[in-house]
Amino acid sequence: MRDNMLDGQVAVVTGAARGIGAAIAKRLGAMGAHVFLTARDEKSLAEVAAEIGTAGGKASFVICDLQNADAIADLAAQVRADTGRCDILVNNAGVATGGGPLHELDPHDWDTMMNVNLKAPYLLIRAFAPLMIEQKYGHIVNISSLAGKNPLANGATYSASKWGLNGLTYSVAEELRPHNIRVSVVAPGSVNTDFGGLGHMDQARAARKIQPEDVAHVIAMLVTQQPQSFVSEVLLRPTQKP
């Protein structure tokens, strides 16, 4: 993907402090977009933003708790005030807590996963879609999971949140198509990050997993499609099973 394909565009990436979100933010920055990175870890956000800047891109970061509706509204207001536009929204942030059988799950863990994985994308779309509608253009990409396509024993809540995100994506895509806004879902399998507290694994196994940059490559493809069509769903699997 050549540089500067996104010159003049503004992208918002959630969960951008590390892992998939950081890789997406770096890729979009390298393509010329002004990237707004958001998460709760200020130090890591600043490091990712500095890396984008050192590479010649433009990045801003905003601390935002995605379980706080007012914080999301403030994020959108800041992006509007600073740039007057939003061309790309990547709802990447996600959590997986409290593994085990559903009947043993603490209700707090249920609420956290639903709030971050499903409610936050709704609130972010609610906050940023009006900007896209005004400019008659935009891309919204929701990062789901293959767990939103398949049963996941001892991960029913996480799976349910991703099934819900898929349904939200397909429906919102129909709502926003008349405004020239394309809404897509990307569902990776297991990615080589520390998501879910998986901890250390041997290098050979880690190398066989999907890499964050693989997901970023898909995002780059989605936001540079020709205007007459759009890809509504991407399922991403490793070539070799880890």
From the list 96, 120, 119, the residue with the least C-alpha distance to 12 is: 120
Q: Give, in degrees to the nearest 5, the angle at Cα 45 between 41 and 50.
A: 155
The DSSP output letter for 191 is B
CB atoms within 10 A of CB 33: 27
The answer for residues whose C-beta is within 8 angstroms of residue 112's C-beta and 6 or more apart is 67, 95, 97
Whole-angstrom distance, CA of residue 237 vs CA of residue 189: 5
Q: Give, in degrees to the nearest 5, the angle at Cα 115 between 192 and 105.
A: 80
Whole-angstrom distance, CA of residue 154 vs CA of residue 20: 23
> Of the residues 122, 137, 158, 170, which is catalytic?
158
Q: Which two tokens stand for residue 140?
A: 């919204």
Tell me whether residue 137 is one of the annotated catalytic residues: no
Pairing of strands 138-143, 10-14: unpaired
Catalytic site residues?
A: 158
